[in-house]
Amino acid sequence: MELSVLIIMVALLQYSWFTLKVGISRPKFEVTAPNISGEKTWERLFRVQQNTLEQLIIYIPSLLAFTYYVSAKWAFIPGVIFIIGRQLYAMAYVNDPSKRTIGFALTFFSNMALVLITAGFIVGQLLYK
């Protein structure tokens, strides 16, 4: 369980970094609060932060559930793939949103693996009691 929580903390630090970049970039791109539109690069930074938040809603509970019901050891793989995917997504999206596919795919499929494998494992447990 400790390793899964550590991986979640890394993901939250990554999200905090994305959030900090948005805040720091406001003066640079002259986007004053509470505005959320402005120069395209700033909007892309903001969208990376928001999309990461949207993905964390799936990631955190599914990683914890996977750890508890399936395997704490194997949770490491999709857990780290998610973080790598988010980083690739962020770098690509800020530079050229059309190149975000690999990062998005790593994020999406790691989340789906966590959800589907955990759900399948629980259903299997219920059926074979």
CB-based contact 70:32 (threshold 8 Å): no
Among 116, 84, 79, smallest CA distance to 5 is for 79
Report the CATH architecture of 2-127: Up-down Bundle (1.20)
CB-based contact 7:79 (threshold 8 Å): yes
- Whole-prediction pTM: 0.94
Per-residue pLDDT of the chain in tens (129 residues, 90 and over written 9):
899 999 999 999 999 999 999 999 999 999 999 999 999 999 999 999 999 999 999 999 999 999 999 999 999 999 999 999 999 999 999 999 999 999 999 999 999 999 999 999 999 999 987
d(CA 7, CA 73): 12
